Amino acid sequence: MKPISYSDAGVSIDAATAATEKIKNLARATFNARTLSEIGSFGGMFDGAFPSMKHPVLVASADGVGTKLKIAFDSDTHNTIGRDLVNHCVNDILVQGARPLFFLDYIATGALAPDTVTSVVEGVATGCRENGCVLLGGETAEMPGFYAAGEYDIAGFIVGVVDRAKVIDGGRIEKGDALLALPSAGLHTNGYSLARKLFFEVAGYQPDTHMDALGMTVGESLLQPHLSYLKPLEELLDSGVTKGLAHITGGGLLENIPRILPENTSVEIKRGSWPVLPVFTLMVEIGNVAEAEMHRTFNMGVGMVIVCAPSDCEAITKHLAQRGEACYEIGHVVEGHRTVVLT
């Protein structure tokens, strides 16, 4: 009887080794003076001394990119998903005033394709470099029979730091405060199950279908990057002008803004106060989707919301404009029970 090996079960150790060598180089390019371990160690080590902070607080988050992966599979585009993942995680800790320190990724697939995995990690490394974040380690799991051929899943884990006195928790938000919106580039990483149903099942489009209303193909529109708001907002974190930040992800404006509101406050948002991207308008037309459904599923063109005193709006808007960032005043805080009302 022929000896049975791990490769007979569908796992290629050689393929994993080849991918790991390429990944090591990508990760090393993100290292800084705080990085104390090499890729391949059982655990990643990072210098935890913060002499410039009186009371450093670590902020951690984990997330994925959902069924946006399906668009990557269908378009055979794998070098952007990792960047989306990093930016999503960076924004999730940014809203509490934290700057990213390091990132870890987890990639699982049925049969490991070294070039595909390397392309995914290339996107992760790009996102880490752009956000000043170390790719400290990760895991690539080959799981035969668990994933369809050519498919994979990816998750990210981020750790950042903020001085306790500078934590942004929404506690200072009060009636009369203003809401400023920073635009998104598209769906970012949420709402793709509905978007795929509308574009591919209801409308019958393909990823390579060019739409004049979008100015690009459907696939290109759905793969628009999840933006990071770290660089535009970083200098505002320590100024005290930012009372609250809300990353507009799953749940849209209606469910994410209440997460930072104190008791006895609500928000009124004015319709038409920011440009809604064509991709959202097109989805409404395709499926006759109700306004409330759109606003609780998609970001509707808003990637981040800033809550500030009305007197600080001009300074914040000017700061963002100097960095080439658009900003729209979309509403204000009122009395209520932590809800969002469109007016």
| Domain assignments of the chain as residue spans, ordered by start | 6-166, 178-342
Q: Are 166 and 237 in contact (CB under 8 A)?
A: yes
Element (H, E) at 297: helix 291-297
| Identity at 178, one-letter amino acid code | A
* Amino acid type, 142: E
Kindly report the pTM of this predicted structure: 0.93
DSSP letter string over 10-23?
T--HHHHHHHHHHH
CA distances in angstroms from 241 to 78, 158, 289, listed in the order given: 38, 25, 37
Which residue is it, tokens 């469910």? 255
- Residue from 181, 160, 189, 186 nearest 87 by CA: 189
Q: Judge contact between 325 and 232, C-beta under 8 A.
A: yes
172-226 confidence digits (pLDDT tens): 999 999 999 999 999 999 999 999 999 999 999 999 999 999 999 999 999 999 9
3-state secondary structure 302-336: EEEEEEECHHHHHHHHHHHHHCCCCCEEEEEEEEC
Q: Give me the CATH topology for the region 178-342.
A: Phosphoribosyl-aminoimidazole Synthetase; Chain A, domain 2 (3.90.650)
Q: What is the pLDDT of residues 284-308, one digit of tens each?
A: 999 999 999 999 999 999 999 999 9
How confident is the prediction along the chain (343 residues), in pLDDT tens digits per residue? 666 555 655 665 566 666 677 888 898 999 999 998 888 788 999 999 999 999 999 999 999 999 999 999 999 999 999 999 999 999 999 999 999 999 999 999 998 888 999 999 999 999 999 999 999 999 999 999 899 888 999 999 999 999 999 999 999 999 999 999 999 999 999 999 999 999 999 999 999 999 999 999 999 999 999 999 999 999 999 888 999 999 999 899 999 999 999 999 999 999 999 999 999 999 999 999 999 999 999 999 999 999 999 999 999 999 999 999 999 999 999 999 999 999 9
Cα 314 to Cα 86, 166, 229, 269, 270: the distances in Å are 30, 22, 19, 19, 19
Domain 6-166, classified CATH 3.30.1330.10, yes or no: yes
